[in-house]
Amino acid sequence: AGLPEDFVWRQVAAFAPPEIRDGDVQQHPVLGYAILQHDQPWSLEHPKASAQASQEQRLLFLDITGVNCVNCRLMERTVLARKDVQEKLAGMVLSQLYLDSVPGIADAQLHEQILEHNRTLAVEMLQDVTMPSYAIVTPDGKQVLAIFPGVDPSGGEKFLEFIEAGISRWKQNSASAGTTPSATTSSTAKL
């Protein structure tokens, strides 16, 4: 608190590990282990997030990240913290796929199981393990609608375009299939 929020400070602060406080990782009734970021739950257990997205017919937002990822912290503290980005994400089921270590998971077997799943999914779905990477996926988890690799040099404008492109592609796919997409706007209730 009280530290500068200028460009130079954000670059330096990105070297710090994620700000995960006691209680930030909790057992969510639907998402399994979840971490609270920017007042929204992000599932750490992708299969549970995917099942929820499918059940509610909501887009699935994947954040490929790592505990030891400087660019991930930079995106979390700048782009993902933007109110307009948060409003767009509020209509989706959010899932973080940690590739190096999963915070807040004390059970060693579950920790390794989640890591293996995340690594396999990143390779199979995105053909990449760049951290950070972001993907918008259909509710059934079968189609990647949009991918955003790396850091957004525009400070969030290109990231918003990526989100809009994913939502638009899903609406187009739904229209051609004769279904109506639901839960893609920020008016959708949060989990």
Look at 10 and 126; give whichever has higher pLDDT.
126
* pLDDT surpasses 50 at 80: yes
User: Residue 173 — pLDDT band, cuts 50, 70, 90?
Assistant: confident
**Looking at the predicted structure, is the pLDDT value of residue 57 above 60?**
yes
pLDDT at 10 > cutoff 80: no
Answer whether residue 22 shows pLDDT above 60.
no
Q: What pLDDT was estimated at residue 7?
A: 56
Asked whether the predicted pLDDT for residue 191 surpasses 50, the reply is no
Which residues contact residue 78 at a Cβ distance below 8 angstroms, ignoring those fewer than 6 apart?
A: 10, 155, 156
Determine the Cα–Cα distance for residues 109 and 130; give it in Å rounded to an integer: 25
- Residue 39: its pLDDT value, please? 87
pLDDT of residue 108: 95
The pLDDT-based confidence of 129 (bands split at 50, 70, 90) is confident
Summarised one tens digit per residue, pLDDT across range 32-50 is: 999 988 889 999 999 999 9
pTM (global) more than 0.85: no
Three-state SS letters, the chain: CCCCCCHHHHHHHCCCCCCCCCCCEEEECCCEEEEEECCEEEECCHHHHHHHHHHHCCCEEEEEECCCCHHHHHHHHCCCCCHHHHHHHCCCEEEEEECCCCCCCCCHHHHHHHHHHHHHHHHHHHCCCCCCEEEEECCCCCCEEEEEECCCCCCCHHHHHHHHHHHHHHHHHHHHHCCCCCCCCCCCCCC
